[in-house]
Chain A
């Protein structure tokens, strides 16, 4: 099964962190103008795999280069106080060995994002279709979809 690794050094320094990319869904590609250099179709991000989070969250403004519009908003609890978050629907790609895992998802955008080391959190809504193995003796993990 293709999988993503995290080295011992990364695991110690930042936790379970992986590189991902976000893209516009295929149904939106017909509206993309290749001549518009300000409008990207994909962008790279650093993601924290967080089994303690029920939903996936992205940093506010992260998706601006994709020129996506929100498809909803939701009240989110679990922080100091409940906050309203925009909901975006997009394509998530996770590199796996020589291939990649790709899936259309919806994520919450957090305007008041505190952690500058990561761009997003992959929560249990995405991990529900994954196998996450932590090897404590080797201080490593693998994530497979």
Chain B
């Protein structure tokens, strides 16, 4: 199993669990999640990442844009 497949599983489960409520109030914004806890909502990705770095340091946390459907990135 690749290291990516195991990455941030707890945080992604928390995101899915909170997604309906997040969409209702913060669609398009960015959520910062550590383990199963939502730490904040931010207007852009860098603000959320910097908040995570400042509060948590070099640990794994999730920054995710709150969207109805999680996009598949098409590289081309």
A117 touches B (CB below 8 Å): no
Whether a CB of chain A sits under 8 angstroms from the CB of B63 is: yes
> Closest Cβ of chain A: how far from B62's Cβ, in Å?
6
Total number of B residues with any Cβ neighbor in A under 8 Å:
31
Report the bound CA distance from A132 to B19 in whole Å.
Answer: 40
Nearest opposing residue in chain B for A84, CB measure: B4
Give the residues in chain B near A76, CB-CB below 8 Å. 72-75
Among A5-13, A24-32, A41-49, A133-141, the one that faces the other chain is A24-32
Does A75 contact B76, Cβ atoms closer than 8 Å? no
Q: Is the interface of A mostly helix, strand, loop or mixed?
A: mixed
What are the residues of chain A within 8 A of B74 when measuring CB–CB? 54, 76-78
Task: Evaluate whether A54 and B49 lie within 8 angstroms (CB atoms) in the complex, with A69-B60, A84-B2 already known.
Answer: no
Q: Given that A71-B52, A71-B63, A106-B49 are contacting pairs, would A53 and B75 also be in contact in the complex, using a CB cutoff of 8 Å?
A: yes
Count of A-B contacts with CB under 8 A? Answer: 95
Q: Within 8 Å of chain B (Cβ to Cβ): is A67?
A: yes
Closest chain-A Cβ to B39's Cβ sits at a distance in Å of 12
Q: Which residues does chain B contribute within 8 Å of A111, judged by CB atoms?
A: 2-4
Option from A54, A67, A78, A104 in Cβ contact (under 8 Å) with B58: A67
B7→A86 contact, CB < 8 A: yes
Contact with A along B33-54 (1 / 0, CB 8 A): 0000000000001101111111
- Find out whether the CB atom of A78 lies under 8 angstroms from the CB atom of B59: no
In Å, the complex CA distance between A7 and B73 comes to 33
Across the interface, do A77 and B60 meet the contact criterion of CB distance under 8 Å? no
Q: Is the CB of B75 within 8 A of A78?
A: yes
Chain A contacts of B54 at CB under 8 A?
A: 27, 30
Taking a contact as CB atoms closer than 8 A, the residue among B3, B5, B49, B73 that contacts A25 in the complex is B49
Which residues in B have some Cβ–Cβ distance to A below 8 Å? 2-5, 7-8, 12, 45-46, 48-54, 57-64, 70-76
Using a CB–CB cutoff of 8 Å, the interface residues on chain A facing chain B are 25-28, 30-31, 52-55, 57, 67-79, 82, 84-87, 89, 104, 106, 108-109, 111, 123
